[in-house]
Amino acid sequence: MSKEGKELMDFAAQRAHNWTQAPYDEATQSEVRTLLEEGGEALVEAFYTDLEFGTGGLRGLMGAGTNRMNAYTVAQATQGLANYMLDVVPSGASIAIAHDSRNNSPAFARVAAEVMAGNGIEVHLFPALRPTPQLSFTVREFGCTAGIVVTASHNPKEYNGYKVYWSDGGQIVPPHDKGIIERVRAVSGPAEVQWGQDAASQARIHLLDDQADQAYWKTVLDLRLSEDLISNGSDLSIVYTPLHGTGSVSVIPALDAAGFRNVHIVESQRHPDGNFPTVHSPNPEEGAALSEAIELAKTVNAQLVLGTDPDSDRVGIAVPDAQSDGGWRLLNGNETGALLVDYVVSQRAQKDLLASGDFVAKTIVTSDLMADIGRYAGLDVHETLTGFKWIADAIRREEGKGRFVAGGEESYGYMIGDEVRDKDAVAAACVLCELAHVAHADGSDLLGRLEAIHRTHGAYKEALVSQTKQGRAGKAEIAAQMEGFLTSPPADLAGERVIEVRDYAAQRATDVRDGSTRTLDLPASNVVQLVTDQNTLVTARPSGTEPKIKFYFSVRMAVDNWPNGDYSQAMGALESRIAQLKQEMGVVA
């Protein structure tokens, strides 16, 4: 072992010894003693640092240790959040708290509730699992100062975390994010936590009832635009899987209330289970997660397959396609987002429900097709950093000037209307089913609708490659990759000249042809984009919540340039171009 390695091991062991005595509970003490006895990298990773409370909250592996999700790291983070809330709202502060289906989520939510109550803050706690978008809605509905949802979104079963929301229902953004982080870091240990287990504190915890559910579902039902669906319902055959998550208590009843009478649930994945026993990862971005749903769809002649992640903020879909292996095609997040935005915008335009200042929103790594659709309808377009908190921030900034109509991001998150201020798979699932119903009635389907969009705005194709790099060494490797893109960007990509390098951390775009620069009018973020003379866009972005670096590829082709005017040939050419880009960037999945 190197000198540096030994010093790190000694540091981790010293911190771990503190966890083998009170106030830590006996189960935690026992787990840490085992780590100390075994030593090695597991001990170092659990204690070499504190689990970082980032701009979105907490996320990490569950287990004992300062760098793990457990009752103590949750309590300390919650104490820091409570301190900040009381700085901003010295009296009358309140918070809403929800949790998903993950292991330990109910316990972590209870810890957060008790700590908040121990600090004199009124708590509105959901008595059982609820989806993330409902938490966002409830924060605004109850006029809360803040909100917490305990979830690790679509991560594997070993993870948990929590997201923090402010009074507008959106995840925290400046200045609150930095203020909360400072307060969380200032909490040095469990002795500084107001644990809130006394009777007076417990009385401040109010369990929410069915009225909270009904209020949220009403906002989902109010999004319906098809008069036929509203009046007559739908018999379209649909398959849905909640992937062992909160969709079981939200998407299923919402689809029923919206009038979809022929929805087939994947029974093996209906019930909440934090072990996610039927999938490697409960992530609807991955085709394997929808495999059981697709098999069921083949037997019931379904026209649409949907799956949501454990906290029901992301939705993935598949549609029948005779040209695809197995007869079904998975749509990526950009394709689904374009379909949703196009449907909502066109329907609202037909019903004269759009007004000056209304806008759509997308992130910098999301297809420009969504922006094209919005501008074509005469709407404003807001482009934000990655993450729905920035779209929520745009909605807050535009209140009184224009309303958010629809938008999304490539990572399977979508939002319609502004009642919820985070991506909402419950509402998106209902609107996608409505779109499938309307398309079917018109003698078309979702692929037909997508082709029509491309024929109007040009063909688009996107792809994403994620590289996982665990631990301290992984962080260093990711940092080196990002530095390389800035200091030594490629001159050409797929036969196209690179003309601009966008450094979002420095908030500067550089034209490599003449060295001129322009300001990127967005908050600083660790993102690098390469732009070619054919409007191809390649983006590198380390994940803020996972040990990954993500590469986004976006290519396009104007209708006039389609080979022989043929749609399938155009899409094939774009697919080949993306494959070449991946190869040249050295990030082939």
Cα 306 to Cα 317: distance, rounded to the nearest angstrom: 5
CB 527 within 8 A of CB 541: yes
| 3 state SS of 391 | helix
Give the DSSP H or E segment for 156: none
- 476-479 long-range contacts (CB < 8 A, ≥24 apart) are 478/542, 478/549
Cα 535 to Cα 557: distance, rounded to the nearest angstrom: 9
Residues facing 462 on adjacent strands: 554
Which two three-digit tokens encode residue 473?
Answer: 């060494």
Q: Cα separations (Å) of 31 from 62, 71, 308?
A: 12, 14, 34
Comparing CA positions, the residue from 53, 81, 79, 80 lying closest to residue 66 is 53
**Counts for the chain of helices (H) and strands (E), in that order:** 19, 23
CB 113 within 8 A of CB 204: no
Backbone angles phi, psi at 524, to 5 degrees: -60, 140
Residue with tokens 């640092």: 49
CB 442 within 8 A of CB 433: no
Report DSSP state, residue 50.
P
Count CB-CB contacts under 10 A for residue 301.
Answer: 9
CB 512 within 8 A of CB 500: yes
Cα 477 to Cα 473: distance, rounded to the nearest angstrom: 6
Which two three-digit tokens encode residue 166?
Answer: 């402010």
Which two three-digit tokens encode residue 123?
Answer: 């708590």
Active site residues: 153
Instruction: Return the exposure string of 16-46: e unless at least 16 CB atoms fall within 10 Å of the residue's CB, then b.
Output: beebbeeebeeebeebbeebeeeeeeebbbb
Alpha-carbon dihedral sign for residues 172, 173, 176, 177: positive
CB 364 within 8 A of CB 529: yes
Q: Where are the alpha helices (DSSP H) in 39-127?
A: 40-47, 71-88, 105-118
Which two three-digit tokens encode residue 107?
Answer: 């316990």
CB 140 within 8 A of CB 44: no
Backbone angles phi, psi at 573, to 5 degrees: -65, -40
Q: Cα separations (Å) of 292 from 158, 237, 268, 269, 411?
A: 22, 16, 9, 9, 21
Comparing CA positions, the residue from 536, 504, 486 lying closest to residue 386 is 504
Which two three-digit tokens encode residue 145?
Answer: 């100062």
